[in-house]
Amino acid sequence: MALLARVGAGIGLGLGLGAGAGAAGIGWFYSSLLLDTSERPQYPERVLTADGATVTLAATRLTAQPGTWGLRWNGPEGRPDGLAVLGPVTATRPGAVVRTVRSGPIPPPGTAAVLDAGPYDPDPGARGLPFDEVAVPGPLGHCPAWLVPATGDTWVVLVHGRGGSRREALRVLPALHERGYPALVVTYRNDDGAPPSPDGYYHLGDTEWEDIGAAVRFARERGARRVVLFGWSMGGAIIAAMLDRSPEASAVAAVVWDAPLVDWRATLRQQAGNRRLPPVLTHVAMAMTSRRIGIDFDRFDLLLCPPSHRPPTLIVHSTEDTAVPVAPSRALVAAAPALGWPMRYLEVPGVEHTGSWNADPDAYEQAVTSFLSDVL
């Protein structure tokens, strides 16, 4: 969700032009980043030293986060084959933090890396779970998914965020499996192995919801009596659109949202503000985006336009989230009783976007499973 990582470079393109032309150019650039489906891994952290038990990283706000994280780096010839599971910070010194290495290879000093909320790869087998690779028939073609079987007839369909992948779900799968929930970890259009959208753009939930409706139908055809939808980040916007527009919505008995995008405008304003862009440029970019993909951003403000089907919902959001602001989640939870929307809320301090599990896996999993037990 680092939608504006390259906007700063584009600002210079508008300098020296007329104000209107400059704003239009930057707005178009911002809109293009928002809709871009290509993957551009970034490795902003630096390994200073490493031994068999610890890694010392250059100190940043991100490397100092509490909890359990993945450390990823590129292998030879740019292959993304470096992954270690890091534990908590054990020591700090000027310009550096020391973290334990719980598993995986040790990166050499000088390695460029990224602290990743997804510490496991490549599939549910990494968590010791049996699974099948299945294909979910969707409106554009078949979308690959992992099916993790279990004993119950309430399935959980797990939906990753913008620019993410199925491995986002690997963190919570063991807790769901232990309690008997079959899990379907899905992809949607423009994901690796899934069909591209006709125009090659993300549609920010406005069309991707159709693929999630297809996944719910797939689960029901294979014995699911009820379905839980579990989404991260833009996965929340996709799920909300599905709850509002899909004939399969009535099968959804509960929702779990982690750092959900419940107001696109607020999210884009925050990300523009992070980079000190004038608010007018955000409005220009949203107007251009609406013209390019036909999205109505009003429909993605859930406080004003809640979905027609509103099952019991757990929202988990971290206070330090700079990608998707926490304020709209707080506002939606506060308004939920008046909206006739049963909601529970967990706020987690000290970690970035979708890092709530990483901060305290046991507490996170207890909150999710107790919520599901209560409402189901």
The string of DSSP codes covering 282-349 is HHHHHHHHHHHH---GGGGBTTTS--S----EEEEEETT-SSS-SHHHHHHHHHHHHHT--EEEEEE-
pLDDT at 26 over 60: yes
Rg (CA), the chain: 21
Nearest to 303 by CA among 333, 344, 326, 324: 333
Instruction: Between 158 and 283, name the one with better pLDDT.
Output: 158
Work out the average pLDDT over 113-133: 96
pLDDT in tens, 218-260: 999 999 999 999 999 999 999 999 999 999 999 999 999 999 9
pLDDT in tens, 278-325: 888 889 999 999 999 999 999 999 999 999 999 999 999 999 999 999
Tokens of 363: 């507490």
pLDDT in tens, 42-94: 899 999 999 989 999 999 999 999 999 999 998 655 555 689 999 999 999 99
Which pair of structure tokens corresponds to residue 174? Answer: 């063991």
Instruction: List CB contacts of 104: < 8 A, sequence separation 6 or more.
Output: 71, 83, 84, 85
Describe the crossing of helices 7-14 and 19-35 by its angle, rounded to 10 degrees: 160
Tokens of 270: 């925050």
- Whether 277 has a pLDDT exceeding 90, the answer reads no
Residue 16 in tokens: 């020296």
Confidence (pLDDT) at 272: 85
Task: Report the C-alpha gap between 246 and 298 in whole angstroms.
Answer: 18
Determine the angle formed by the axes of helices 209-221 and 234-245, rounding to 10 degrees.
70
- Tally of helices (H runs) and strands (E runs) in the chain: 10, 14
Look at residues 63, 65, 47, 58 and name the one whose alpha carbon lies nearest to residue 106.
47
What is the pTM for the complete model shown? Answer: 0.93
